[in-house]
Structure 1
Amino acid sequence: MKPLIGLRNRLVFRGMDVVHSNLNNADAVAAFPQLRVAFNRIKKAGNSTVTTFLAELSAEDSGQSFNSVRDAKKGALSPARCGWRDAREMRGYTFFTVVRNPYDRVLSAFLNKVALGEKGIDSRKPRFRVVPGWGEATPAGFAEFVAFLDRGGLSHDRHWWPQCDLLIMPPEHFDLIGRLETLPEDMARLLTMIDRDPERARALEKPHPLEASQPHKITGATSKRAQFYTPDLERVVRRLYARDFATFGYPEEAG
């Protein structure tokens, strides 16, 4: 991001108590002028699903369509790559985010970005190759991964950063914080807030076709929790993500 954009954003978003290191990250916000909505993207918490859903909803008037999740994401605006006018307009948008149970989010990050090894497009990237548990889609591999997080690897990649550390503003400043576990209902609330048909959120009861078509994208982490977690691993994840559990009201028991 150009330094002038960062300075511009400090001026435009002053008084909103934003976290500029996150706001100025190109992948942190997906904004849709047609909907007047700004989505604080949290990796491994329905990020692709929600962004694609909103991109298609906002593009209906123009007849635009998308061939991939990547195309849908590129169609959104971001404070890190937009003009002055668009940035000023964003101040009046509805700001929301979607979070996920930390147990499932950590396991999903492992299964999608680390465990696949050479089989995964993303896991072949250098920053994932060096992560313990790479290429080991087993409980033992997951244990190595969690031990890595506990040794300081928590900050290695945003896919497993604590969700509180990915927010662009304090939780109480969002107009809505939804949960991946109740995504259709929470997105229906959002659509009502922006005067759109809440029935459209029923589409989120199943994976988006563009996302489902990506190999290994959907990990099914929730259904695999008992297979990968031990009581010791639960305790480590509970400690590392204590703020997420407390802030978003998730139960500390994994069972």
Structure 2
Amino acid sequence: MSDPRVFLAPDEHNAPLTRLLAPLFPRYRVLRALAGEPAHLRAPYRNLILSHDKRLLFLRNQKCACTQTTQFLYAYGNGGQTYAGNVHRANKGLYPARYHWETIKPVLESHSAFLFTFVRDPVARAVSAFRNFFLDQDNIARHKHLGPMQAHGFSAENSPERNFDVFLDYVAHTLAVDPVRCDTHWRLQVDNIALADLSFDLIGRVESFEADIARVFAAIGRPDFPPESLLKQRHNRSRPSDFAATPAQKARIATIFASDYEAFGY
């Protein structure tokens, strides 16, 4: 099912370009390999990151401290130094599935690494995604959603409150059209982390991030990591803003993301 008023992630796994380039480039080789996995697991599998020593396996859940956590994993494998650019493209001292699925797959299947992820209050996550894409305009994928959002009533002339209403309409519409190919920044968290299919050692919360990331490293015998100097660093933070969801918008979010509220106890 398709609808021009929503943007869905393209299915590149069996595309002609993927088949052509798979023998030459790891990114396309991984896409080709994931074509053999169930459709609802392809995005979660591609969001896995394995630490350099293969003891930690992290599943990125967008808008849930995934940049901060990936930076810590990068620093863990690179002498305590964080990555200067987009850490989600880093490929040194860790194994991102987008390049190394063949390395991660046996680790995942054997559960030989500590598997963890983070979740977040759905209101805070929805507000964060809206701000990132449509207030701060910082996300590189914003242009893919701008036309469909305008079709739903988005306009620079609107107040942020009105545009957030439009955003929630757009999110609900996209999830109704295709919950699997919905943008992962507002896809259901239960689907982002494949909750029904994976057995996590820890599902941490953004609201208790420092305590939970300490539990992750303590579980592999590294209670000294991350050091205080790393914990003080903040990556991919939204710009200061007084924008907040109204009570009516919070009620709408509770409906749209009911599965997340039920699964994670928010």
Distance 2:136 2:67 in 1: 19
Q: Counterpart amino acid of 2:58? A: F
Cα distance change, pair 142–106 in 1 and its aligned pair in 2 (3 A)? same
Contact persistence 1:42–1:97 (CA under 8 A): yes
Structure 1 CA distance for aligned equivalents of residues 167 and 120 of structure 2: 19
> TM-score, normalised to structure 1's length?
0.74
Matches within 5 A, 1:173-184: 173-184=199-210
Check whether the contact 2:132–2:238 (CA below 8 A) recurs between aligned residues.
Answer: yes
Q: What is the SS of the residue equivalent to 1:34?
A: coil
Q: Does 1:150 align with 2:172?
A: yes
Q: Is this contact kept in 1: 2:136–2:239, CA < 8 A?
A: no
1:52 counterpart residue number: 71
Quickly say closer, same or farther: Cα 1:79–1:4, change in 2 above 3 A. same
Give the Cα–Cα distance (whole angstroms) in 2 for the partners of residues 134 and 190 of structure 1: 43
Aligned to 1:248: 264
User: Cα–Cα, structure 1 residues 244 and 163, in superposed 2: closer, same or farther, change >3 Å?
Assistant: same
CA contact under 8 A between 1:39 and 1:95: conserved in structure 2? yes
Structure 1 residues 164 and 203, CA, compared in 2 at 3 Å: closer, same or farther?
A: farther
How many correspondences in the alignment? Answer: 227
2:222 to 172, 182, 196: 196
Alignment RMSD (CA, Å) = 3.2
1:20 is aligned to 41
SS in 2 for 1:219: coil
Does the residue aligned with 1:181 lie in a helix, a strand or coil? helix
CA deviation string 1:208-243 (max 9, x = no partner): 3xx2xxxxx42268x84xx43222211110011111
1:102-141 matches, within 5 Å, as 102-117=122-137, 120=138, 122=140, 124-132=142-150, 133=154, 135=156, 138-141=160-163
Amino acid at match of 2:208: T
Q: Structure 2 vs 1, CA of residues 235 and 204 (structure 1 numbering), >3 Å: closer, same or farther?
A: farther
User: 1:38: Cα distance to partner?
Assistant: 0.8
Q: C-alpha displacement at 1:30, in angstroms?
A: 1.2
Q: Which amino acid in structure 2 is aligned with residue 191 of structure 1?
A: F
What's the TM-score once normalised by structure 2's chain length?
A: 0.71
Q: Which runs of 5+ in 2 are unaligned?
A: 1-27
Decide whether the 8 Å contact of 1:38 with 1:93 is kept in 2. Answer: yes
Q: Which residue of 2 aligns with 1:253?
A: none
Q: Which residue of 1 aligns with 2:85?
A: 68
1:229 lines up with 2:245 in the alignment = yes
In the aligned structure 2, how far is the partner of 1:171 from the partner of 1:248? Answer: 16
Residue in structure 1 matched with residue 33 of structure 2 by the alignment: 5
Evaluate the alpha carbon distance shift between residue 89 and residue 143 of structure 1 in structure 2; reply closer, same or farther with a 3 A threshold. Answer: closer
Whether the aligned pair in 2 keeps the contact of 1:99 and 1:179 (CA below 8 Å) is yes
- SS of the equivalent of 1:151 reads helix
